[in-house]
């Protein structure tokens, strides 16, 4: 192959793997505003620190120190795996300026970080620290310099496919839950509308009842006034008759004494 052919093939390969360039994704998504890129850089930096510690443990002759360093590395790996889970969720989160293909590429990057974390030597595995790099080298990328790269070469891994399926299932369940909530809210809205209409129909009846109660109260008050007047008249008539009777008795006594 000539130098020109090599340059063309390198350029083609770079374009193929352009979607795995985290720095480019960060520039497209805005400086400092992409949570995925920030978390990715943090995890990658911590992976580098863990690799350095594993190299120190490999050169250490004191077994007690080696055990302590390996224990710390295992704790770091467990914490980093939790961070990778968060990174996978961020990878499929919709972000302005990030296409669907970029989201899939981010998912592959997150899965790759998980594999790199598992390969960090911690005294309990046979990982090779020399095969890992802190600068973000893609260890699972293989270059076919003898022929064209087929489409199968860029197929997603089993883990990424499984994660995407799980993501789609959870999204579907979430959509179903939101639909149920929407139906419930619609039912409550219709119920409130019916109650409002019923209250509107009851308002004239309540006004009519208030009018009748006011009228009955006024009639009762008038009846009480007339009854009081009648009682006063009866009392006056009774007193008049008593006075006449007493006068007749006095006149009778006077006539008897006169005789």
Which residues, in sequence order, are CB contacts of 57 under 8 Å at separation 6+? 65, 66, 69, 70, 73, 121, 123
- CB distance 42 to 83 below 8 Å: yes
- Cα separation, 156 vs 173, whole angstroms: 24
> What would the pLDDT profile of 200-252 be if each residue is shown by its tens digit?
888 888 888 989 999 999 988 888 888 888 888 777 777 777 878 888 888 88
Q: How confident is the model at residue 61 (pLDDT cuts 50, 70, 90)?
A: confident
3-state SS, 180-224, equals HHHHHHHHHHHHHHHHHHHHHHHHHHHHHHHHHHHHHHHHHHHHH
Which residues, in sequence order, are CB contacts of 69 under 8 Å at separation 6+? 53, 54, 56, 57, 60
What's the pLDDT score for residue 188?
Answer: 92
Q: How confident is the model at residue 23 (pLDDT cuts 50, 70, 90)?
A: low
| Mean pLDDT for the stretch of residues 11-39 | 60
The residue ranking higher by pLDDT, 95 or 33, is: 95
> What would the pLDDT profile of 119-171 be if each residue is shown by its tens digit?
888 877 544 444 444 444 444 444 444 444 455 545 556 677 777 788 888 88
For the chain, what percent of residues have pLDDT higher than 90?
3
Q: Would you mind telling me the total number of residues written for the chain in this entry?
A: 259
| Mean pLDDT for the stretch of residues 110-124 | 86
Task: Enter the tokens of residue 12.
Answer: 């083609």
| Mean pLDDT for the stretch of residues 173-194 | 88
Q: Is 70 exceeded by the pLDDT of residue 99?
A: yes
What's the pLDDT score for residue 21?
Answer: 57
Q: Is 60 exceeded by the pLDDT of residue 7?
A: no
What are the Cα distances from residue 210, in Å, to 213, 222, 248?
5, 18, 58
- Mean pLDDT across the chain: 76
- Cα separation, 55 vs 87, whole angstroms: 26
> What would the pLDDT profile of 178-188 be if each residue is shown by its tens digit?
889 988 898 99
| Mean pLDDT for the stretch of residues 30-56 | 81
Q: Is 70 exceeded by the pLDDT of residue 101?
A: yes
Phi then psi for 77, rounded to 5 degrees?
-65, -40
- Cα separation, 181 vs 168, whole angstroms: 20
């Amino acid at each position: 192959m000539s130098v020109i052919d090599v340059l063309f093939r390198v350029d083609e390969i770079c374009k193929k793997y352009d979607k795995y360039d985290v720095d480019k994704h960060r520039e497209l998504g805005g400086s400092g505003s992409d949570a995925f890129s920030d978390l990715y850089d943090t995890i990658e930096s911590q992976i580098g620190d863990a690799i350095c510690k594993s190299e120190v443990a490999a050169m250490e002759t004191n077994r007690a120190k080696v055990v302590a360093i390996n224990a710390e590395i295992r704790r770091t790996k467990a914490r980093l795996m939790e961070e990778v889970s968060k990174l996978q969720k961020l990878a499929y989160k919709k972000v302005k300026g990030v296409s669907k293909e970029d989201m899939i590429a981010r998912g592959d990057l997150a899965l790759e970080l998980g594999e790199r974390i598992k390969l960090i030597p911690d005294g309990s595995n046979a990982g090779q620290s020399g095969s890992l790099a802190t600068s973000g080298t893609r260890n699972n990328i293989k270059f076919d310099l003898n022929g064209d790269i087929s489409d199968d070469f860029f197929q997603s891994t089993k883990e990424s496919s499984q994660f995407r399926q799980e993501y789609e299932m959870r999204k579907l369940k979430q959509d179903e839950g939101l639909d149920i909530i929407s139906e419930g809210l619609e039912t409550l809205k219709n119920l409130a509308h019916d109650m409002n209409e019923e209250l509107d129909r009851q308002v004239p009846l309540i006004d009519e009842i208030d009018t009748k109660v006011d009228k009955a109260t006024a009639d009762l008050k008038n009846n009480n006034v007339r009854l009081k007047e009648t009682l006063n008249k009866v009392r006056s008539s009774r007193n008049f008759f008593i006075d006449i009777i007493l006068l007749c008795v006095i006149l009778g006594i006077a006539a008897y004494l006169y005789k």
